Amino acid sequence: MNNERYRAIIIKNGRLLVMKREKAGRRFCVLPGGSIEVGETPEECCARELAEEFGIEVKPLRMIYKIKQGLTRQGFFVAEWLSGEIHKTDAEEYTTNDVEKYGTYDPSTIALDELDSANLVPIEVREQLKRDLAEFGTELNRPLLEFKCGWN
């Protein structure tokens, strides 16, 4: 199992791009992204995952968070949405027959003031993002921050 993942923070028209999830009766959102493949840079991983799962072209601009969550390490890029409209693609998230095991996936956006009610996880990333939006605005032009997260 690959324990290195990269995600995008994309804010467009006051809305944050998220993957809405439902699994084991729990509803939550995550920032879009996924596992790096052999020979891929973190930026390439981030862009590929958004194309595969959301059907959009993005440009990762700068990494602002690196987190450690158990054995998993994740990097979060502020990214620019270049083209395309979000939609379900033919990615395995949408085509699996085992919804009981993997849950459901819905590419979407949420208003920035809905971060808490949308249950964006991990909580530590959500709380840091809220602080950074208040301090740096939607450009999120901040230095790289590294921290640990629990499993929430």
Mean pLDDT across the chain: 94
Residue 83 has φ and ψ, to the nearest 5°, of -160, 165
> What is the mean predicted confidence (pLDDT) over 33-55?
97
pLDDT score at 32: 97
DSSP at 10 = -
Q: How far is CA 21 from CA 29, 132, 137, in A?
A: 6, 24, 27
Q: Which of 130, 146, 147 is nearest to 138 (CA)?
A: 130
Which domains does the chain show, CATH number per domain? 4-148 (3.90.79.10)
Q: Which of 76, 83, 136, 146 is nearest to 112 (CA)?
A: 136
pTM tops 0.75:
yes
pLDDT score at 103: 87
- Chain segment 73-104, per-residue pLDDT in tens: 999 999 999 999 999 999 888 887 788 888 89
The pLDDT of residue 1 is above 70:
no
Q: What is the DSSP string of 12-41?
A: ETTEEEEEEEEETTEEEEE-SEEEPPTT--
Our separate counts of H helices and E strands in the chain read 4, 9
pLDDT score at 44: 98
